[in-house]
Chains A and B, each alone.
Chain A
Amino acid sequence: MTAQILSEGFKDAARDGAHAFRAILTAMARPGTIATLQAASGPAPISPAAATVLLTLCDRTTPLHLAGAHDNPELRDWIAFHCASPFVSAENATFALGDWAALQPVDRFGIGTPEYPDRAATLIVDRHDFDAAPTRLTGPGIRDTATLALPEARAFAANHGLFPLGWDAILTSGSRLAALPRSTEIS
């Protein structure tokens, strides 16, 4: 384990975590909003925004699935040191981290149960292209309509069709972050 892996966490866990959570909360409560988040950085290919999300929300009680290029020894070591999340398969994950392509097929992830819809996975879709063609969003948290670039509108629409079940997504790239809860309608 190198010194680089031990560093690059939060400088001040309580205050950095508080600011980061407020940004994530705002993004999740107001779909279409893009927040800036860069309180931490990890080994490639994880973005500073995704690294900050992990430090804010993940710990030893949240099984994490790493997909594709994000499943590499350096990043595993960094997460093991800073979050201590157990690494699991997609089906058992509370959080999943990877590119959209690597996360496929997304119907592997937990969508909760009718009695406990909160027991669903949160996908952290890293290296998201925020500048792709925007999709129109409506639903809770959105005044009239909002727009956001989605990796694949059809998959998010299908996920919304499961409401109140379904996974929730946090989209990250560089220091940018947006979120799309299952409640958002895609049109």
Chain B
Amino acid sequence: MSDQAYNFAYLDEGTKRMIRRAILKGIAVPGYQVPFASREMPMPYGWGTGGVQVTAAVLTPGDVLKVIDQGADDTTNAVSIRKFFQRTAGVATTERTNEATMIQTRHRIPETPLTGDQILVYQVPIPEPMRFLEPRETETRRIHALADYGLMQVRLYEDIARHGEIATSYAYPVEVAGRYVMDPSPIPKFDNPKLDDCPAIQLFGAGREQRIYALPPYTHVRSLDFEDHPFTASKADHACAICGSGTSYLDEVITDDAGGRMFVCSDTDYCAQNAKGGA
């Protein structure tokens, strides 16, 4: 039951129209960051206000919503955003990836492959992939306009010079449809291959930074690399301590103060289904 004191999905219709227009331009120019007039939301920046605004603008009454935080359905951030939309939109929610029509995510792509009937919304802290290399917005904007991405290749090269390999392990930069370099949000690089040729629509919202960008389905997304140092999707070299999966992305959990640790799936739904033998 939704809270009738709020408009459907919290935002007013004028705000939704503005966000919807930005999403459509983002779809039309895949990987380009569309500026939008981000609103103050009833949660602090850093809690996914960008993702929440995109979800609110795209959500329909018939949707089934799943919210994950680092792959988990049961952490504070995921639970509070799920409750927010239960209350303001009255939509059904689920923790099952294959039952969801909309998934809002913080920093993971579900292990279960997405389908063409789903929309994945990412919460993005810093949308500009070049930001830590070039702090000036005027310059990064020109870099994108000219597709002058040499600086990023130099950064990856410096990784190799220092560490012998590309040490960037999350927010690994990608090239979208042969044009824009994009920050896929701080997902582990393990998830990067799932961005490519994905049947689902992928939308990215950065609330504090006021940017929306998008990947239409079946868009070619290439992780930047070098011929002699090709991209590799890495994960901890263990099996999950709960479900035994050897292929899913793992979190390292410290279990005591004597060096004890365990590795468990970061995707709680996948882990639970796999433990039951059903994934």
Contacts and interface: CB of A to CB of B under 8 A. Distances in A.
Contacts of A164: 29, 32, 179-180
A14 B23 contact: no
B24 A168 contact: yes
21 contacts: A14-B9, A14-B13, A17-B17, A18-B59, A18-B60, A21-B57, A29-B216, A30-B217, A56-B20, A115-B142, A117-B25, A118-B35, A140-B216, A140-B218, A140-B219, A140-B220, A141-B217, A168-B24, A181-B27, A181-B28, A181-B216
Interface residues of B, number: 44
A61 B18 contact: yes
Interface centre among B20, B61, B201, B216 (most CB of A within 10 A): B216
Given A17-B13, A62-B21, A29 B27 contact: yes
B201 A25 contact: yes
Interface string A12-25: 01110111011011
Contact of B29 (A15, A24, A56, A117): A117
B58 A22 contact: yes
Nearest to A182: B28
B30 interface: yes
Interface of A: 13-15, 17-19, 21-22, 24-26, 28-30, 56-59, 61-62, 113-118, 120, 122, 139-143, 163-164, 168, 181-183
Contact of B13 (A13, A19, A116, A122): A13
Contacts of B34: 118
Contacts, number: 115
Contacts of A142: 218
Contacts of A30: 216-217
A22 B215 CA distance: 16
Contacts of A122: 24
A53 to B, nearest CB: 11
A122 B217 CA distance: 21
A139 B197 CA distance: 11
A138 B218 CA distance: 10
Contact of B145 (A14, A114, A120, A181): A114
A118 B25 contact: yes
Given A25-B20, A30-B216, A164-B29, 16 more contacts: A14-B7, A18-B8, A18-B16, A25-B23, A29-B216, A29-B217, A57-B17, A59-B14, A59-B17, A114-B145, A116-B35, A141-B217, A143-B217, A143-B218, A181-B216, A183-B29
A25 B58 contact: yes
A141 B24 contact: no
Given A25-B58, A118-B25, A122-B24, A17 B35 contact: no
Interface in B127-142: 141-142
Interface string B190-221: 00000000010100000000000011111110
Contacts of A116: 35, 141
B120 interface: no
Given A29-B201, A62-B21, A143-B218, A14 B29 contact: no
Contact of A17 (B16, B21, B141, B144): B16
Contacts of A58: 17
Given A28-B27, A118-B32, A141-B217, A15 B61 contact: yes
B182 interface: no
Contact of B25 (A22, A114, A168): A168
B20 A19 contact: no
B166 interface: no
Contacts of A29: 27, 201, 214, 216-217
B121 to A, nearest CB: 12
Nearest to A143: B218
B5 interface: no
Given A29-B201, A115-B142, A118-B32, A19 B60 contact: yes
B145 A115 contact: yes
A109 to B, nearest CB: 14
